């Protein structure tokens, strides 16, 4: 089966020449580079991976771009975008002219950007991305999902994917899924996809992560397999790469074989315009 991971981070060690953002902690103490990730992918049978720079590496895109350019059939980049850039609309228009760059990721976790999202002060971004057909991965909270619904309705040609189903990265079990159903109304927006990514990190249960099945079922029933993108956020998983794969390919009884092909890579690559 062709498998493409919708998200993993790579980063360099903390150093005076390349300091991490103060107060931000990496998912593991040892930096994860492209070459190590390739070895892990090969061992697990993962053909491709979308690389996203982590928050502790500031707004640098150089590592993910270098990896995507060196291994264009294995890696693609969705870089971090500086919303403060004075030439923002022009940057959006030229964004995917960078070899290996297939979109960008935006986080609305900081208070100032959360307020801007609510006040519709980033409409210039949505408009520019819609015009240029630049794909956007959104890191938003569950409480912000109704705002994303509003954006998707107002910009119907805008291509959006929700990272980790909007789940709070610091929580597990019932706390993580308390407001889970807020994502379901977005299924009516054909321009919204979802990453069913990093799910093992949101449960204290061991493999095969049985408590996650009802939530996967809700997403499957709402969005369908062609709009669900499997992914790992590998460095923070509590399980092996192989288990993250087999959870989806062997442990979810309602997936058909065709469903698995879409969820495990085909849907992601078609959405990104990254031909197999």
pLDDT at position 17, please? 87
First to last CA, the chain: 12
Phi, psi of 91 (to 5 degrees): -65, -40
- Tens digit of each residue's pLDDT, the chain (276 residues): 999 999 999 999 988 989 888 888 888 889 999 999 999 999 999 999 999 999 888 889 999 999 999 999 999 999 999 998 889 999 999 999 999 999 999 999 888 889 999 999 999 999 999 999 999 999 999 999 999 999 999 999 999 999 999 999 889 999 999 999 999 999 999 999 999 999 999 999 999 999 999 999 999 999 999 999 999 999 999 999 999 999 999 999 999 999 999 999 999 999 999 998
Q: Is 54 left (phi over 0), alpha (psi -120 to 50) or beta?
A: beta
Q: Which residues pair with 160 in a beta bridge?
A: 136, 192
For residues 215-229, one letter each, b for 16 or more C-beta atoms within 10 angstroms of the residue's C-beta and e for the rest, the string is bbebbbebbebbbbb
C-alpha span between 8 and 32 (Å, rounded): 10
pLDDT at position 167, please? 97
C-alpha span between 183 and 99 (Å, rounded): 33
**Domains detected in the chain:** 4-272 (3.20.20.140)
pLDDT at position 58, please? 80
pLDDT at position 57, please? 84
Strand, helix or coil for residue 173: helix
Closest CA to 143 of 98, 109, 188: 109
DSSP class of 264: I
Closest CA to 160 of 186, 178, 181: 186
This prediction has a pTM of 0.96
CB 224 within 8 Å of CB 196: no
C-alpha span between 12 and 190 (Å, rounded): 37
C-alpha span between 54 and 120 (Å, rounded): 26
Instruction: Return the beta strands (E) in the chain as ranges.
Output: 4-8, 48-51, 75-80, 101-107, 135-139, 160-162, 192-197, 228-231
């Amino acid at each position: 089966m062709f498998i493409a991971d919708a998200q993993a981070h790579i980063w360099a060690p903390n150093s005076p020449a390349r300091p991490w953002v103060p107060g931000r902690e990496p998912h593991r103490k040892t930096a994860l580079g492209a070459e190590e990730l390739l070895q892990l992918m090969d061992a697990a049978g993962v053909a491709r991976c979308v690389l996203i720079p982590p928050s502790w590496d500031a707004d640098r895109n150089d590592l993910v771009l270098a990896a995507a350019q060196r291994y264009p059939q294995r890696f693609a980049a969705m870089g971090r975008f500086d919303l403060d850039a004075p030439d923002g609309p022009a940057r959006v228009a030229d964004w995917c002219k960078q070899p290996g760059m297939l979109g960008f990721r935006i986080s609305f976790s900081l208070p100032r950007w959360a307020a801007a999202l609510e006040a519709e002060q980033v409409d210039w971004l949505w408009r520019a991305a819609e015009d240029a057909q630049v794909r956007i991965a959104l890191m938003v909270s569950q409480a912000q999902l109704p705002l994303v619904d509003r954006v998707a309705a107002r910009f119907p040609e805008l291509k959006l994917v929700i990272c980790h189903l909007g789940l709070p990265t610091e929580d597990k079990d019932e706390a993580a899924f308390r407001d889970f159903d807020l994502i379901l109304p977005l299924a009516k927006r054909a321009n919204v996809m979802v990453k069913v990514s990093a799910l093992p990190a949101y449960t204290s249960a061991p493999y095969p992560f049985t408590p996650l099945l009802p939530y996967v079922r809700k997403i499957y029933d709402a969005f369908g397999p062609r709009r669900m993108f499997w992914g790992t956020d590998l460095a923070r998983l509590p399980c092996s790469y192989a288990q993250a794969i087999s959870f989806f390919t062997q442990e979810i009884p309602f997936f058909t074989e065709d469903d698995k092909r879409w969820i495990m890579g085909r849907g992601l690559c078609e959405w990104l315009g990254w031909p197999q």
